[in-house]
Chain A
Amino acid sequence: MADNADHIDGDDNEDVRAQQNLIKIKLKSSEGGIYECGLTAAKMSDLVKNMVESLGTDAVVTTEPIILGNEAVTDAALKKIIEWVEFHWDDPPVDHDFEDEKDRRNEELSHWDKQFIDVDDQALLFDVIAAANYMDIKGLVEVGAKHICSKIRGKSCQEVREMLKITNDFTAEEEDAIHKENAWIYAKD
């Protein structure tokens, strides 16, 4: 019936994405490791997307690995990143008519993302975030950011420094002055 036909446009597009994800491309880490990843999933990285599109035909893409030269893209980080994009490539597209940027920022991470990003090895965690930033995978950088901010929330400066291994480059006097200026946050509402 015509009723059905004229209302399912756009699904073709989803089929194409699913089809394209069956094509595997190779990604090469800065340590030299080569890993396979579905094409649609890999294109969640704007960097990879641009490289693939500038190379033109898919045939070339599937034979030669795409080189990700940034030092944060270690073997371990790249494996994590591929895990993330392979899970998320078929997420429904962001609906700009409804989803406010502000709402999305405030939304809590999904259970899967929480487990994914809760990495004990902080060097690996930071590699994943820096590599996602380099590869321009906005969704994954956001997951990392929300994770770090949830850990920072409510902690003192010293606790934050110890947790994230941050060097305090303030003098004691400077730190004191800032504390005084911000004393209002400790007042009761």
Chain B
Amino acid sequence: MSMKHLKTSLETSDEEGGDIQQPQIYAKNSMDRFGDDLCALLLSYLPFKDRFRCECVSKQFQRTVFGSVVHVILHKAFISFDTQLLATIAKKCPNIQTIECRVIGNKYEELIPELLSIFRDNCRHLRHIYCNLRENSDQLCLPFGPLVTQVGSVSFDNKRSLILCHRLSHLVIHSLYDAFDYFPGRQLVAKNLQSLAFYNFSGHSNDQLSALVAGNQSIRCLKLVNRLQSRLTPETLTEMCGQLSRLTQLRRLTLELRLNDNENSLNNSLRTIGEKCWRLQRLTLELFMRDEPLEGQPLEGQPIDALKYYRRLKRLHLTLDPVFGQRLLEPLKLCHRLTHLTIWLHTKNDKTSVDQLLDNNCGNYWPRLQYLYIRFNEFGGQCLDHIPRLPALQTLVFHCRQDIGLNDNEYSDLLSRNMAQQLTQMMASLEITDENNEDNIQQTQSGPAMDLHHYHPGISSYEHSLKTNRTIIHN
């Protein structure tokens, strides 16, 4: 079973002065030919367990397979290991920088400090610990607080431990109160964060929001969710967005809001943020105005007209509930830098909105758009007409809900007549454009027909990646 060690007489460089002596010459089809540095680079894409499985392939594998382990996830399997075994694992991976403890499960949380100490003693590059502070957080934070950089959840009793985490940069909290000590003086315990998410923003905490913003001017990424039971009034919304607009470092913002019907306050609030947070590049906006789909007329006016103040956006994800009326997507046409656009519509006549959005000028609105995802109730073929005009588009996904009122046969018929045909033309058009290097897409009718492989009828969404000539069907 021992492998033959093949040798070949490869020529070295044929250039003058290229008298490079190779210490040993290996078969060209053997991975032995690679030096340790390349071997290490190639093996750096292996999952954690597979590295151990491969350790005894060869001495070169043993030397090179562990060096690139920088991130370790603590699984509950580790709990059953004895100290010796964990120390052996830690020693093999001396370059570990980050340990993720948030997925280990509540009941094992108390064992985390013990596991961490083994890694700390063996991995001198350990710099980041990601954890939750739910049980006995002092046990964790007294020794390891300076290493804790991300916290995924904090219980009421443990929030004071945050003070021990001086290097904390990412924090997820349930409500604003979790960022403040309860006694004395309600001091802010999380400062200089880069990323913050809170999931239960209510309208009563604007004083604290103000303090939080003042102590965290460094925030680049913010997620704010307000739950159903605490619908924001126009006043609190205005106040809240006024505070958020002081975060001038913001790059990413996610707002998931339940609102009372008031277009003006929404519009003005969004405008404030758009004008002040000029570094913002990625916006996720989920707006829910009412619980039930509206029976009567949708709101007239332009509730999200303020998006025209977000012209630097590269990525936008919009989710809108049924109250919004037509032409509401018009302001997106001014966001010329968009590379990724995702729209989830649950509006009446959403087909019309999309048709209006994807008009014959869309290539000028979005010259860089690579990724377009549209999810809607009603599907019509018209919106496809102009998609070939988007010059940079690589991935297109249409996602229709099942209840679009078509049976499988009708639907597959629609797909095959409209989409497949359209996409075939689009593929062809891109080929022609690439070759001639010009923007004329009109001449597509006679382009070569492409084979749309993996095409299945009766599905609810259809993804076509132009660059990779790949078609994916989602259920």
Chain A residues with CB under 8 Å of chain B are 3-4, 7-8, 11, 18, 22, 30-32, 67, 69-71, 92, 95, 97-98, 102, 105, 110-113, 121-123, 126-127, 129-130, 133, 141-142, 144-146, 148-149, 152-158, 160-162, 164-170, 174-175, 178-179, 181-182, 184-185, 187, 189
Contact = CB atoms under 8 A, between A and B. Distances in A.
B446 interface: no
B13 A105 contact: no
A18 B433 CA distance: 12
Contacts of A178: 55-56, 62
A112 B467 contact: yes
B77 to A, nearest CB: 5
A28 to B, nearest CB: 10
A36 B394 CA distance: 27
15 contacts: A18-B437, A110-B467, A110-B468, A112-B470, A126-B30, A129-B34, A133-B38, A145-B43, A157-B53, A157-B56, A166-B60, A167-B3, A169-B59, A184-B52, A189-B76
Contact of B10 (A71, A97, A152): A71
Interface string B57-98: 111111000000001000111001100010010000000000
A8 B367 contact: yes
A179 B56 contact: yes
B311 to A, nearest CB: 6
Contact of A166 (B49, B61, B85, B339): B61
A166 B59 CA distance: 10
Interface string B252-278: 000000000000000000000000000
A189 B77 contact: yes
A144 B88 contact: no
Nearest to A182: B52
Interface in B80-131: 80-81, 85, 88
Nearest to A15: B437
A168 B58 contact: yes
A86 B145 CA distance: 50
A130 B38 contact: yes
Contacts of A113: 468
B450 interface: no
A149 B49 contact: no
Contacts of A153: 46-47, 50
Interface of B: 1-3, 5-6, 10-15, 18, 27-34, 38, 41-47, 49-50, 52-62, 71, 75-77, 80-81, 85, 88, 251, 281-282, 311, 314-315, 334, 336-337, 339, 364, 367-368, 370, 392, 394, 437, 465, 467-470
Nearest to A174: B56
Contact of B42 (A145, A170, A184): A145
Contact of B57 (A67, A160, A187, A189): A160
B465 A30 contact: no
B15 A71 contact: no
Contacts of B281: 97-98
A152 B46 contact: yes
A92 B339 contact: yes
Nearest to A156: B53
Contacts of A141: 38, 41-42
Contact of B251 (A30, A97, A122, A160): A97
Contact of A122 (B29, B58, B370): B29
A122 B34 CA distance: 13
Nearest to B33: A126
A165 to B, nearest CB: 4
Contacts of A31: 14
Given A112-B469, A144-B42, A149-B46, A130 B14 contact: no
B50 A152 contact: yes
A127 B281 CA distance: 41
A165 B15 contact: no
B337 A184 contact: no
B41 A71 contact: no
